[in-house]
Structure 1
Amino acid sequence: MTLRYRRTAVGFLWTLINPLLMIAVSAVVFSLVLRVGLKDYAIFLFSAIIPWNFLNGCIQAGGSSLIANEGLLKKIYVPKQIFPVAASASLLVDSILSTVSLFVIVFALGAKVTTALFFLPVAFLLTGILGISLALIFSIVCVYLRDTSHIITIVMQAVYYMTPIIYPISLVPKQYHIYFQVNPLVYFIGLFRAPIYEGRLPDLHTIGICVVTLCVTSLIGLALFQRFAKTLIFRL
């Protein structure tokens, strides 16, 4: 994380500036211009930006982690899973620190201070495990299918708008709700939106789906590395 901000003018503050600008722009567009009838829209958006930025970052950075360290991997033996795990862990630390810092602004905007906020460490733990698992999966896929890194950017832009991040699901016609119910990101966003925006604990259904999702992705990630770890070096 230190190397990432070396020789930059504001250093770690970039982890605050990026989400803050995203929230500010989206809040102006959707609450003032498009007039989304939602109270405390900035807080609503902030609660979803936290897991989205982290998971999107894990897929992007994790996917390129092995290719970016190709030279090192060809020179010495290093456990290959270290690179996607390290990339995800760094993003998780950034996400936690930026969330704590931005809470000062969010509270000033009227966020609810309830005991439900004590659930956030659990939310970060569950989301962190999912992020590491996704990084492991995409780090392998990007090595064997090089076009994947370019496709990911396009797909994640589509997923961003197909997930209720900048709008509430109540604005979506009921006949389309089924597509959101099968989107696991909806439930991980719920882990943060419930305590931060709604002032309550996430329901057991949301937590259960998140646990099942991260278990499946973890098994897939570990299985892929076990299957391709020995031949991976020949595809770099």
Structure 2
Amino acid sequence: MSAYISNLKKYQPLLYELVARDVKIKYRKSVLGVLWTILNPLLMMVILSVVFSNLMRFDVENYSLYILGGQILFTFYNEATSGAMTSILGNASLIKKVYIPKYLFVVSRIASSSINIMSSFCAMIIVMLCTRTELHFTMFLSVIPIFYLIVFSLGVGLILAALTVKFRDVMHLYSVFLTGLMYLTPIIYPMSMLPNWVRFIVNLNPLTWMVEMFRDVMIYNTIPSCTEFIVSLVVSFATLLLGLWIFYKQQDEFILNL
């Protein structure tokens, strides 16, 4: 772990360049550019809230904010892990030419996605102000579930990046997995409507804990329980350690499979 941290400090300028490159490539030739990081969650919130509030008729207070809170976190996870998964393959030509700590490419994808989640967070504040939703002091605690999510996504991203170099099928399988994961995360539906056995399965999803914690502090002025904090903390850092271990074991063979 100490070697990772020391290399991260040593190659910090390169990391900044990689993050800037990722952001520029994503919004290249786009008229609105980075403004899409705010517009995307707002437009999706409008569509989902109109469709599901009329079709499903969920009895949820501040349903538009409820959807937006879940959507922001899941979209980040989707974007961050999907980008991290192909980060080594996408930089194969650079990796073959010069020595660069390979995990930097994964970290840069997570970092660039983190910029987007901050912009989406601003979009949620805008919606809360426009709908005259009361702003609570607990909103400052929102950095905790976001931090947990970033750590968890980094761990998953390292695992996916290491596996994808050797097994290209992972990219196709993961896209299917994300579809299922979206429905196993309480984004559009409240947990209260689920039968007990379904609720048990949904609670096995780490994203569920982080999404619910984020909504509690942002919308409902509720401080999450110690159990929520501890479970999210343990799962996030356990996933990160597992990701670092798998990546470390596989990285020397990357060059043979690129």
Contact 2:145 2:211 in 1 (8 A): no
Change (3 A) 1:111 1:47: farther
- 1:140-219 aligned at under 5 Å gives the runs 140-219=162-241
Whether 1:114 and 2:132 are equivalent positions in the alignment is no
Q: Per-residue displacement from partner, 1:74-98 (whole Å, max 9, x unpaired)?
A: 1111110011100001101111122
What is the aligned partner in structure 1 of residue 6 from structure 2? none
Shift of 1:227: 0.5
Q: Secondary structure at the match of 2:60?
A: coil
- What is the TM-score when the length of structure 2 is the normalising length? 0.87
- 1:14-163 aligned at under 5 Å gives the runs 14-163=36-185
Q: For 2:116 and 2:128, how far apart are their aligned partners in 1? A: 18
Contact 2:145 2:213 in 1 (8 A): yes
Q: Per-residue displacement from partner, 1:17-58 (whole Å, max 9, x unpaired)?
A: 221121111101111222112121001111111211111112
- What is the TM-score when the length of structure 1 is the normalising length? 0.95
Shift of 1:182: 1.5
CA RMSD of aligned residues (A): 1.4
Structure 1: which 5+ runs fail to align? none
Structure 2: which 5+ runs fail to align? 1-22
Contact 1:43 1:109 in 2 (8 A): no
Contact 2:106 2:158 in 1 (8 A): yes
Q: Secondary structure at the match of 1:164?
A: coil
* Identity level (%): 27
Q: Per-residue displacement from partner, 1:137-159 (whole Å, max 9, x unpaired)?
A: 11111111101111111110111
Contact 1:40 1:110 in 2 (8 A): no
